[in-house]
Structure 1
Amino acid sequence: MIWLPTGRIVGSLLPRTPTCPSGLRSFNGVYSMKVVDNETWVMDQFSSCELKHKKRTERLQTVASNMLACPEASLPGQNTQWKDLKAAYRLFDRPEVTHAAVCQPHWEKTRATRPGRYLMISDTTDVDHYSHQATTGLGMLGDGKGRGMQLHSCLAYDCHNQKIVGQAGAMLFYRSKAPKNESRTQRLKRTREGCYWGEVVDQVGPPPEGSQWIHVFDRGADNFESFCHLAQSGCDWIVRAAQLHRNVLDHEGETKKLCDIVDDAQLLGSYELNLRSRPGVAARTAKINVSVATVTFVPPAHRSPYVKQCGVDEVSMRVVFVQEVDAPKGVTPIRWVLLTSLAVETFEDAWQVIEDYEHRWLIEEYHKVIKSGCSIEQHALRTADRLEALIGLISVIGIRLFELKLLGRTEYKTKANGRVPSSWTKCLAILRPNLKVQGLTVYEFFRELGKLGGFLGRKSDGEPGWQTIWRGYRKMQSLLDAMKLTGQIKDEIRG
């Protein structure tokens, strides 16, 4: 066994070299994608929206362009001309302009994945509009005092290219108070929050030929109904278990509690993980055991209408136990229980499952982007229906901001020339006159863009985040607009 302070194993988990699809160049096993400017990106994402009138689709593109130019501002701040603002309000007031209608083209492009391995990472976040008391149709949040809606998003992540592909699907729903003295049978008959995990799986659908999709869920999806949706989807899954005391069947068909299965699980290996100090907890090096078992989930005694009619009698899967041993006294040991449809026979197989689940932070970071970068909770419209369409637009715009963080991180050797718009390199040369722009790689270009936004680039600073890269992009965009007005750059879509 090879120990590393970071908990990583040398050599055994290097990514497989994928077959390069036509139209893309491969550098060290990673596809090199061309970066497009905002105008091209907006047209690509929204020009095919079906809003029942060509003018509405054109107006949506205008609103999207204004939003992308200043994502943190309100609609009045983004549409500074009264005629543009009035047109935006009218657009979101149309019944044809819905959350699904705005997002559908983006979803479809995201789902058309090239051959490869992809993570479909889902989670739910609250969209709080408590401060907008005039907005009607909102649901409750938290303990019932908050007002807003829940957004359940599914992000597609390309494992080979290490890039966000886009949002593969999403649903908005409203929380309401449960009826007083509601029985368990009555509860199962109504739509519950746990249902949306499975419904988004159905919305995303099966993968195209040659693509492997792996749904990555947190503990909110740990219910038999979600596993029924997953089993019928044609996709794989990794779900963190929440109900550790549920009854399951072990590999011999005996009924046991899930938490007791670990005693008979096969130990595959161990690794060490350095943990930083936290309030009340000292830094330590944790020894983690990784073991695996096979279990079968059977339907619960109380079944929802979907479980009764779906035809799934049982779901077999592997359980990967990630358990800290010999933890210091008074410290809660690390413990992950991951349920997966993937084959797990070796330590490397288990490590891949753990590594895939660790990518779940991407959906949390994405929700931060749409909240802090796009101010999704600050927008105010009169009705929840209007807000739904606006939130759909913001959720797609958020992908553009978020993907800037990962662009170029895997392309250390790919030259920026020919991969990013030539107008971008011209602006960077003006803004950084002492920089040799022509020799930059894609990776170096985005680091320099981050420096325009405040990234210092010291050895201890790591990589620039989406906020510094976006601030740098905003400075570059201001110069682009000025150059366009003075005729130095043609007023056309540049790519």
Structure 2
Amino acid sequence: MHLFGRTFTGAIIARIQAAAAEPGVTRSALSRQVCGWLEWFGTDGRAQEVSCRKALVELERRALVALPAARRAAPQARPVAVLEPFAAPRFSGPLEALGPIELVAVEDREHALLYRRMLASYHPLGGGPLCGAQQRYLIRSPVVGWLGALAFSAAAWQLAARDDWIGWCAHARRANLNRVVANSRFLILPSIAVPNLGSHVLGLAAARVQADWPVRYGITPLVLETFVDEAQYAGTVYKAANWQRLGETSGRGRQDRANTAACGTKAVYVLALTRDWRVPLCRRPAPVLRLAPPAAPTASWAEQEFGRADFPDARLRPRLIGLAEAFGAHPTATLATALDGAPHQVKAAYRFLHHPQVDLQTLLHPHYEATAARIAAQPLVLVAQDTTSLNYDAHAATTGLGPINTRRDGAQGLKLHDSLALTPEGIPLGLVDIQVWAREAHARTTAKARKARPIAEKESQRWLTSFARTAAVQALCPQTRLVNLADREADIYELFQVASTDPAGTHLLVRASRTTQRQVDAEDEDEIQPLWEVMPRQPVLGGCTLHIPGRGGRPARTATLELRATAIDLQPPKRLKGAAPLRLWAVDAREINPPDDQEPIEWLLLTTVPTTTLEEALERLGWYAARWNIEVFHRTLKSGCRIEDRRLGDADSLQACLAIDLVVAWRVMDLAKRGRETPDIPCTVFFEEAEWQALACYHQRSPIPPQTPPTLGEAMRMVAQLGGFLGRRGDGDPGATVLWRGLNRLTDITETFAIFYPSIPAGP
């Protein structure tokens, strides 16, 4: 459950209930405890007690916890005290006659009472409580005495004119709204008639709040805002103080609509306090990667992978989970078919994918955290990264695409770079990083000019970004050994530099490319020589056989390899003058006696993991062989989830849809792999109760559901048979294609089964 930007899991709610039952505990103390459990702190390091207390009240309203009795009534429920009217002094004259104007901060009871009396007597909104963070001032003249009062408080959550002027997204607004402060009260006593006094006080107040707000709340304000009821006031004072009128309130959001309905529209004025205010306000904070907490026993797979999605508008989360479940139930179907062709559901899906708060990284972040939790349970995890192209050339109306090959007039689409976490046996644990971009049709440049560009300006940066994401997961999982794998395209010196200095200890293994012409200083060599000439001279450690799967027109075969390994000092390329050599280990695997019509297998691997013995070389070879699974994942994504057939109007919507399809493709691949590697575990790790019972009844042609679930291997073959798998002796294990088809049919079978057995839940 998400409340105020935090996730309250079943375990957290149970801890809250236990802590609330302790004798003598107060709501304030309980909220501080919960802030500690959830790491709920502001930028100043203080616990967010007010937001937490509101969340606790909401949990109590939903009957999930029982809070201790409140010791005081809420401010809005307290009786209104009758205040003695304030006797205002009278003065008329020039501003200079008042002497130096002073703003007195309201810090004690005497000043607070004076402030409330003054506003209750002369301000149309009175001196009642303000919203959120606040700072109040009294205006004093050494000659006349009290001249008025003003107050600053939390800004409006949504304000169309202001939000359009700032230009921030919803995520940036939620993160940085505390740097916008509202001038919620401003009063110059009506008996004081002094030209320019109001604008002068506003100038003093702008400087004063910049100094006082950080001391009080640890946050430096960047923009001030206020509302002016132009039915009564002209806003002249604010204009004279250089405030900018942006427009009028539009009624966006519940609070804004209520105010508009009650009081009519008001003019919106703002004042920027610094020159560079827009950049920090529009900066969207990067999400913090954490280990996902254990999922509730009743949570569906979609809730486990997407339930922690962090939307400013929490209503988007149920829609995301519903879409993921629909996509998962019909992996090969179009969007309309997956939603049973219901027009309102299809329209809602398109609106969701086009929503400004919905983007690929927001959707995938909870899956990244769930993946990290699965990684933490493994001793060794391989993270394979690779790039593929998504061809949308058939969708000419889709905007935001780019060329996917070297021809500027070639096919249009998106580039996808993914990083898939795998066990050494090849079981996919989930995605660690996804990068999607559309290439720009740049003018042709020379090879020399391309090489001169820094790595951060090249597409090659994607390999370093993936490694950095792997290192972030490694920091969360210190007991797990992570190895980042990549093919020849990742043979980049800067990538080896980053891996060699990674403080988290993430390892790297890359297949070397001949085109890079690597120069090395080997341990048993006296001079710098080409890497590809040094390795054949190393002693043979031993041999092994490797199964080469068929591809295209090439038949499958078994290759016999010789293995060599040695430590090397990799020399920097000429473009990185002054860079130090890197200590790496090279593993060379060469096929002996290859077939006459086949190219010999030749793998030269570079790694940061020390490798000197035959056993170590064989392990590194096995790691690289596991990289092939990311190619299987790409095939699952394209052929199974049919991502290239998605018809959406723009690239952003395609990326949002891709985020869901990526997780669905991982789930289908996970089923296929686990069914082969761990066939004896119960199928309940993947299937809901109604699903496996419906599957078993259909397979056995029996109306009576079995008492115990079948194993995952048995259930997988049943699903595959629904998709056309014959299960003959020589057919081997079912692949992803028949599983996709079978899952489509299983959804319809389960829905029919639920009609006859309504007591069995068919899923969320």
Same fold (TM over 0.5): yes
Secondary structure in 2 matching 1:464: coil
Indicate the residue corresponding to 2:305 in structure 1: 45
Q: Structure 1 residues 137, 38: CA separation in 2 closer, same or farther (over 3 Å shift)?
A: farther
Aligned position for 1:118: 381
Asked whether the 8 Å contact 2:383–2:422 carries over to 1, the reply is: yes
Q: TM-score scaled by structure 2?
A: 0.55
What code does the residue aligned with 1:193 have?
Answer: E
Judged with a 3 Å threshold, the aligned counterparts in structure 2 of structure 1 residues 67 and 91 are, in CA distance, closer, same or farther, namely same
DSSP 3-state at the match of 1:136: coil
Q: TM-score, normalised by structure 1?
A: 0.83
Q: Which amino acid aligns with 2:313?
A: H
Gapped runs of 5+ residues in structure 2?
Answer: 1-293
Partners of 2:350 and 2:553 in 1: how far apart?
Answer: 51
Question: What amino acid sits opposite 1:146 in the alignment?
Answer: A
Partners of 1:177 and 1:88 in 2: CA distance: 31
Deviation at 1:61, TM superposition (A): 1.4
Question: Could you say what secondary structure the match of 1:87 adopts?
Answer: helix
Partner residue, 2:521: 249
Structure 1, unmatched stretches of 5+, are 1-33
Question: Which residue, 217, 236, 259 being the options, matches 2:507?
Answer: 236
- In structure 2, relative to structure 1, the CA distance for the partners of 1:75 and 1:37 (3 Å cut) is farther
Is the contact between residue 488 and residue 510 of structure 2 (CA under 8 Å) also seen in structure 1? yes
Match of 1:259 among 532, 550, 561: 532
Give the equivalent residue in structure 2 for 1:375. Answer: 642
Contact 2:295–2:304 (8 Å) recurs in 1: no
Asked if 1:59 corresponds to 2:319, the answer is: yes
Give 1:142-161 correspondences, 5 Å limit: 142=405, 143-144=407-408, 145-159=410-424
Q: Give the corresponding residue for 1:198.
A: 464
Rate the CA distance shift 1:356–1:147 in 2: closer, same or farther, 3 A: same
The count of residues paired between Structure 1 and Structure 2 equals 454
| Counterpart AA for 1:470 | W
- More displaced 10-residue stretch of structure 1: 266-275 or 68-77: 266-275
Which among 151, 164, 167 is matched to residue 428 of structure 2? 164
Cα contact 2:332–2:741 (8 A) shared by 1: no
- Which position in structure 2 is the counterpart of 1:24? none
In terms of mean alpha carbon deviation, does 330-339 or 388-397 score higher?
330-339
After superposition, residues 175-214 of structure 1 pair within 5 angstroms as 175-182=439-446, 183-184=449-450, 186-188=452-454, 191-206=457-472, 207=474, 208-214=477-483
Which position in structure 2 is the counterpart of 1:290? 563
What's 1:20 paired with? none
Identity of aligned residues (%): 27
1:221 paired with 2:490, answer yes
Matches within 5 A, 1:425-436: 425-433=692-700
Three-state SS of the structure 2 residue aligned to 1:408 is: helix
One-letter amino acid of the structure 2 residue matched with residue 240 of structure 1: R
Q: Does 1:455 align with 2:725?
A: yes
For 1:324-473, list aligned pairs within 5 A: 324-327=591-594, 331-414=598-681, 416=683, 421-433=688-700, 438=708, 440-473=710-743
Report deviation, 1:418: 8.4
Q: What is the CA distance between 1:429 and its match in structure 2?
A: 2.7
CA distance in 2 between partners of 1:204 and 1:276 (Å): 28
Contact persistence 1:39–1:65 (CA under 8 A): no
Q: Which amino acid aligns with 2:518?
A: R
- Which residue number corresponds to residue 320 of structure 1? 587
C-alpha distance after superposition, 1:412-459 (max 9, x if no partner):
444557885443332133112269965843323322332232222222
Stretch moving more, 93-102 or 199-208: 199-208
Rg: which structure is higher?
Answer: 2
Larger RCO, structure (CA 8 Å, separation 6 or more): 1
The one-character-per-residue Cα deviations of 1:82-126 (angstroms, maximum 9, x if unpaired) are 222222222122222111001001011112322410010111110
Q: The residue matched to 1:267 in structure 2 has which SS?
A: coil
Summarize the Cα distance change of 1:443–1:282 in structure 2 as closer, same or farther, 3 Å threshold.
closer
Deviation by residue 1:116-147 (Cα, 9 ceiling, x = unmatched) = 10010111110111111111111101233110
**2:396 is the counterpart of 1:133:** yes
- 1:329-361 deviation digits (Å, cap 9, x = unpaired): 675322111111222222121111111111112
Cα distance in 1, alignment partners of residues 370 and 742 from structure 2: 28
Asked whether the equivalents of residues 115 and 211 of structure 1 are also in contact (C-alpha less than 8 Å), the reply is: yes
- For residues 110 and 324 of structure 1, the distance between their equivalents in structure 2, rounded to whole angstroms, comes to 36
Tell me, yes or no, if the aligned pair for 2:332 and 2:740 is still in contact at 8 Å. no
Look up the equivalent residue of 2:416 and give its one-letter code. Answer: L
Q: CA deviation at 1:155?
A: 0.6
Deviations 1:301-327 (A, max 9, x none): 214xxx99xxx7332211111112344
Do the aligned partners of 1:411 and 1:441 also contact (CA within 8 Å) in 2? no
Map Cα deviations across residues 386-426 of structure 1 (whole Å, 9 max, x no partner): 22212112111211121110123233444557885443332
* One-letter amino acid of the counterpart of residue 437, structure 2: F
1:301 alignment partner AA: K
Q: What's the CA shift string for 1:266-304, capped at 9, x where partnerless?
A: 31102345779999989987542111121122332214x
Structure 1 vs Structure 2 CA RMSD:
3.1
Task: Report how far residue 246 of structure 1 moved.
Answer: 2.0
Tell me the distance in 2 between the aligned counterparts of 1:473 and 1:146: 32
Contact kept, 8 Å, 1:416 with 1:441, in 2: the verdict is yes
Output one character per residue of 1:216-243: Cα deviation in whole Å (capped at 9) or x when no partner: 1111100112222323442112211113
Q: Distance between the aligned counterparts of 2:344 and 2:549, measured in 1?
A: 54
CA distance in 2, matches of 1:210, 1:226: 24
Q: In structure 2, what is the Cα distance between the partners aligned to 1:362 and 1:467?
A: 15
- State the distance in 2 between where 1:274 and 1:368 align: 20
**What letter is aligned with 1:229?**
V
Give the CA deviation at 1:75: 2.2
What secondary structure, in the 3-state scheme, does the structure 2 residue paired with 1:345 have? coil
CA 1:293–1:85: 2 relative to 1, 3 Å: same
